[in-house]
Amino acid sequence: MNKVILMGRLCADPEVRYAQNQNQTAIARYRLAVDRRFHRDGDATADFISCVAFGKAAEFAEKYLRQGTKIAITGRIQTGSYTNREGQKVYTTDVVVEEQEFAESKSASAGNGGAAPQTADPDGFMSLPDGIDEELPFN
């Protein structure tokens, strides 16, 4: 079984290209900075994982993902190789993205964006503002 689950932040905005086929399939490439669980000598370390998404997933990446966005992905590892211009063989390892989703709220990734933090009651639940009962889809 070849299954990968990662959570990290985008190192840069996704690079999106469109294949020159009939469907003009979108192909998005991005690198994900994934923190290591254990640190060496107190230094924070991360692995930088190359990811590639195709089709609708690539279009989603192009539209919504930006540098610093924290996302969770599932996919599979794919290896390959090619010969570069100097004639040397280069080996590649990518995660082919099958699913991707945001791992934090937009306000958290934007440094709270000036919004006031929401406080929780001592029981751990957030209190709702008055008059919101009419807007809830259930009672």
pLDDT of 5 higher than 80? yes
Structural domains for the chain: 4-135 (2.40.50.140)
**Mean pLDDT estimate for the chain:** 84
Q: What is the pLDDT of residue 94?
A: 97
Give the separation between CA 73 and CA 87, rounded to whole angstroms: 34
pLDDT tens for 19-40 read: 988 888 999 999 999 998 777 7
Place of tokens 């996919």: 75
User: CA 126, CA 119: separation in Å to the nearest integer?
Assistant: 6
- Cα 69 from Cα 77, distance rounded (Å): 22
Question: According to the model, what pLDDT value does residue 112 have?
Answer: 40
User: Does 128 have pLDDT greater than 80?
Assistant: no
Q: Are 98 and 59 in contact (CB under 8 A)?
A: no
Question: Tens digit of pLDDT for each residue in 28-77?
Answer: 999 999 998 777 776 768 899 999 999 999 999 999 999 999 999 999 99
CA angle centred on 14, ends 8 and 18, rounded to 5°: 140
pTM, whole model, 2 decimals? 0.72
Structure tokens at 130: 């008055």
